[in-house]
């Protein structure tokens, strides 16, 4: 069994980097072979741009999906992307580590998804959702926030972090993954978190151990529920009798 770990954080002393190392260590202890994409230290270019393609399907206008598909079909996907696709494809389990930045993911991770979820090979209209390439494989996001759990709650001033994560995780569902409930570690960054208590344990240690326990029990982690393909009409709208599983796909508009 192989796990691939993606880290989107520029600092190796950060909590996110520590959690990614813990993922490698803990999964290895449990018999997984692991690979890691530490995107900043790799110098991964998160921008798809014409310079990545020596030849072009359309030299007159750069259309990302056209070029991705053209090169995927010829086996000429840019080498940095092809290497990432290889690691993803070989993995049975994907772990993605990132801090919440401006209510979303860091641009580095967004760009990795823009480039590595290649149109034509990772997804296409006949290969998404229930028929996604990675169906049968699990993924989990481990996310840190600067704000407190209270501020990130459903009635908190930051808005519900689980809703902020919904569109991000839906991209992984789109390409077929079974998305596990994310681990969200709140309140990282305030000075109190860096100070050890009387027992010598600081709050970061407590949060890191929470993540270790999650990994150890990953087989029992519940999944995010998504509508199945058959819940939608041919017009792509939710059938009246289909369950409503999130505010993003609902019978009545929420806003």
Ligand X SMILES: Cc1cc2nc3c(=O)[nH]c(=O)nc-3n(C[C@H](O)[C@H](O)[C@H](O)COP(=O)(O)O)c2cc1C
The binding site for ligand X (CB under 6 A) comprises 9, 14-16, 99-103, 144-147, 158, 188-189
CB nearer to ligand X: pick between 81 and 185: 185
CB nearer to ligand X: pick between 1 and 194: 194
Residue 239 has what DSSP assignment?
P
Q: 177: closest CA among 83, 84, 93, 87?
A: 93
Q: 138: closest CA among 114, 162, 87, 173?
A: 173
Q: 3-state SS string over 36-101?
A: EEEHHHHCCCCCCCHHHCCCCCCCCCCCHHHHHHHHHHHCCCCHHHHHHHHHHHHCCEEEEEEECE
CB nearer to ligand X: pick between 101 and 119: 101
User: Minimum distance between the CB of residue 211 and ligand X, rounded to whole angstroms?
Assistant: 12
Token pair of 70, please?
């053209």
User: Minimum distance between the CB of residue 194 and ligand X, rounded to whole angstroms?
Assistant: 10
Comparing every residue's Cβ against ligand X, the nearest one is 146
User: Minimum distance between the CB of residue 204 and ligand X, rounded to whole angstroms?
Assistant: 8
CB nearer to ligand X: pick between 100 and 215: 100
User: Minimum distance between the CB of residue 213 and ligand X, rounded to whole angstroms?
Assistant: 19
């Amino acid at each position: 069994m192989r796990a691939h770990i993606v880290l989107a954080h520029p600092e190796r002393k950060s909590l996110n980097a520590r959690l990614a190392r813990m993922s490698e260590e803990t999964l290895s202890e449990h018999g997984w072979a692991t690979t890691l994409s530490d995107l900043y230290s790799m110098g991964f270019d998160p921008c798809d741009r014409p310079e990545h393609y020596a030849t072009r399907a359309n030299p007159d206008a750069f259309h990302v999906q056209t070029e991705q598909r053209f090169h995927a079909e010829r086996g000429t996907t840019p080498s940095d992307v092809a290497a990432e696709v290889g690691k993803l494809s070989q993995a049975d389990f994907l772990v993605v580590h990132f801090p919440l930045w401006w209510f979303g993911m860091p641009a580095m991770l967004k760009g990795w998804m823009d480039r590595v979820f290649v149109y034509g090979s990772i997804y296409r209209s006949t290969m998404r959702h229930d028929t996604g390439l990675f169906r049968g494989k699990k993924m989990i996001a481990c996310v840190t926030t600067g704000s407190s759990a209270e501020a990130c709650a459903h009635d908190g001033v930051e808005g519900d972090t689980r809703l902020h994560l919904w569109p991000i995780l839906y991209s992984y569902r789109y390409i077929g993954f079974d998305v596990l409930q994310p681990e969200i570690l709140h309140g990282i960054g305030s000075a109190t978190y860096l100070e050890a208590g009387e027992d010598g344990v600081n709050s970061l240690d407590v949060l890191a151990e929470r993540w270790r326990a999650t990994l150890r029990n990953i087989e029992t982690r519940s999944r995010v529920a998504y509508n199945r393909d058959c819940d939608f009409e041919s017009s792509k709208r939710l059938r009246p009798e289909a369950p409503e599983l999130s505010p993003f796909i609902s019978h009545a508009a929420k806003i």
